[in-house]
Amino acid sequence: MARITPPESTRGSGRYDGYHALWHLFTLGLIDSVATFDSDAWGEAEDRVTAGGRRTRVALIDVSVTPGHPNLDGAIAWDLAVDFFSSRLGTFPEPNGSRFKDLLAAAKPIGDARAKALFTELTAHLAKEDVAARDAAVTAQRVFPATSAAFSGHGTAMAGLIGARPVPPEMVQLVGTTVTPLPNDEDLQVDSPLAGHGLPYIGIDPTCEIVPISTSFDPDPEQFLAAMLYAHIIDADLIVLARDFPDPWRSPLTGALGKGGTVDPAELALLRETHPVTVSPEEETLWDSLHDLVPAMSMTRPILCASGNGGDTTMLYPGLLASDRNGIILVGAHTSLGTRAGYSNIGTDALPITLYAPSGDSERLDSEIVRLDQTSPDFHANTHAPGTLEESEPFSALDVISTDVPGAAGYNGSPFPEILPAENTLPDYRSYYCRFSGTSAATAIASGVLALAMSTGKVPRGDGVGAKKKLRGSAAPTNDAAAEPKLNWARI
């Protein structure tokens, strides 16, 4: 690979070249015309929906998704969304319609005895919760979801990449926005250079429906088991898991599928001695049940998992359960230059990465990779040996752009203490979008492509193993050094 060294005039300058915010759509081969920015695949998917076809249903097991984002209007199936953060057996952010009642009645128990017992308890609770969510008299007595904007950054960014819809100019007004002035300061105005252009952001499958299944950060196996069972109850076509399940025996720390792991026994013993964690027999049973359920569910509903951002072989669990015999898809990240992202985990002969999808990059300076952002204002050539700079691999400055929680709570937080939109105007449009990266972004992109492939009929529903093979698009072994196979629409 040719070495690319920024000229002296741009080193450390912070002057990056501009780039298209939706560059990943071109990289995937989805855009047929640069002039019209259109895709035959989108038209085909929309035609199938218009003709009465079912929208591809994407179960997003993550944190919550912010309501009210213009580009997610119509993309989120709020009548099916559920929150396991605030309630052990789930609560609904929005009152449900008839769809959930019908899906609940049709769902059958799955998994081992413990999973089936939880399924029975879960369905009984959700049936009552469904009634309570639609009854104003009972609503005040139920547990409300913990779906605050403060918790919704990651889920909102994931949802946007998967299935955001563009907003036409006539549907949004970006002028007339005012903000509360800071103390002893003059009134401020938010500039709106995009006025008259709408919000031209689009996800990969703008015809799918995304069901947020929000979970907490607690290492609780029951909530993860309940989340998986809920994805089954709503008859999801695919499941997105850009997070880990911190199983005490099967997490990246242990690095193996069985209890005990393969790390240095002395290190593991020292860790457990200094940081003891007690696991009850009930928790152990739940972890074992979840361990069996995930690959079993993937046979009919492909599960897309992030490989992790450690830059090594410690795959996130349950992604490390991926094999040729199931529908678990282990996703790595490649940059706009086609190289493996600096943080993206790599596979082994026993556990290869399934495919690589576009994402941002990261700097590295270690024995394996030298990759420096030499345009960054924080870069100082005199802090590196000349040989280091000569050996530095090209760094990609292109981040993936996605939807964000508006205001201060998002990744791209608003600088204003309070935003007050005038009638029919959009407050601080800049905070509605953010830079997003990691194998999470790559997993969201891969999920969007799979959803679109199902929406167009390229990939049939109900076959996780078949979907995995079609999405991968290549029978060649994974090449981590070249970040191959790369996700590409034409290969499916």
Lowest mean pLDDT among 91-100, 320-329, 443-452: 91-100
Q: Which amino acid is present at 374?
A: Q
Q: What is the mean pLDDT of residues 461-473?
A: 97
Maximum CA pair distance of the chain? 72
Q: Which amino acid is present at 435?
A: R
Q: What is the 3-state secondary structure (H, E, C) of 100-164?
A: HHHHHHHCCCCCCHHHHHHHHHHHHHHHHHHHHHHCHHHHCCCCCCCCCHHHCHHHHHHHHHHHC
Q: What is the pLDDT of residue 79?
A: 93
Quick check: helix, strand or coil at residue 38? strand
Local confidence band at 2 (pLDDT 50, 70, 90 cut-offs)? very low
Q: List, in order, residues 6 or more apart from 385 with CB less than 8 Å away.
A: none
Dig out the tokens for 138 from the structure: 């009972």
Give per-residue pLDDT as tens, 362-379: 999 888 888 988 888 888
Give per-residue pLDDT as tens, 349-365: 999 999 999 999 999 98
Name the DSSP class of 167: B
Q: How far is it, in rounded angstroms, from Cα 162 to Cα 454?
A: 13
Name the H helices within 181-311.
Answer: 221-233, 265-274, 281-298
Is omega for the bond preceding 318 within 30 degrees of 0, making it cis? yes
Q: What is the pLDDT of residue 142?
A: 74
Inform me whether the pLDDT recorded for 199 exceeds 90.
no
Q: How far is it, in rounded angstroms, from Cα 2 to Cα 24?
A: 23
Give per-residue pLDDT as tens, 260-314: 444 566 776 787 788 877 889 999 999 999 999 999 999 999 999 999 998 988 8
Q: What is the pLDDT of residue 119?
A: 98
Cα-Cα-Cα-Cα torsion 89, 58, 405, 34, nearest 10 degrees, comes to 180
Q: What is the mean pLDDT of residues 128-134?
A: 81
CB 162 within 8 A of CB 63: no
Q: What is the pLDDT of residue 260?
A: 41
CB 55 within 8 A of CB 185: no
* β-strand pairing of 188-189 with 178-179: antiparallel
Q: Which amino acid is present at 85?
A: F
The 10 Å Cβ neighbour count of residue 480 is: 17
Output phi, psi for 298, to 5 deg.
-65, -15
Quick check: helix, strand or coil at residue 98? helix
Q: What is the pLDDT of residue 184?
A: 56
Determine which helix (DSSP H) or strand (DSSP E) holds 25, and give its type and residue range.
helix 23-27
Dig out the tokens for 319 from the structure: 């992604």
Q: Which amino acid is present at 275?
A: H
Report the range out of 383-392, 394-403, 446-455 with the highest average pLDDT: 446-455
Q: How far is it, in rounded angstroms, from Cα 128 to Cα 318?
A: 31
Q: Which domains can be identified in the chain, with CATH numbers? A: 23-166+201-361+437-491 (3.40.50.200)
Local confidence band at 109 (pLDDT 50, 70, 90 cut-offs)? very high
Give per-residue pLDDT as tens, 66-81: 988 989 999 999 999 9
Q: Which amino acid is present at 64?
A: S
